[in-house]
Amino acid sequence: SRLVTIKGFMDAESFAQAVRRQLDALEISERVILTIGKRRTIKIRDKEVVGFEVILEGLTAEESIVLQEQGLGGRRHMGCGVFVAAKSEVRV
């Protein structure tokens, strides 16, 4: 996802732990590779909401569907926490 927001988590380390807890709640395996990317913000009215890019690799087909249906974090009605399937690049 380009931007995932979780209220109260503004540094990458604690944010990663919060994402892991949400993945556990969705019953997504701990073997999934979680990568926290760049810190990003979205402006909502007069406030800046902090979030991070999130990449998840190694999902099963079922886990991928659950994640796409449920999303992660808040502000999903504004496009945050929405995941789409992506092909991984194969490097030679």
Average pLDDT estimate for 24-32: 92
Q: For 63-86, what is each residue's pLDDT tens digit?
A: 999 999 999 998 888 888 888 877
Structural contact between residues 31 and 19, judged by C-beta atoms closer than 8 angstroms: no
CA atoms within 13 A on the CB side of 38: 3
**What's the longest Cα–Cα distance across the chain?**
47
Which has the higher per-residue pLDDT, 91 or 47? 47
pLDDT of residue 88: 63
Whether 92 has a pLDDT exceeding 80, the answer reads no
Whether 62 has a pLDDT exceeding 90, the answer reads yes
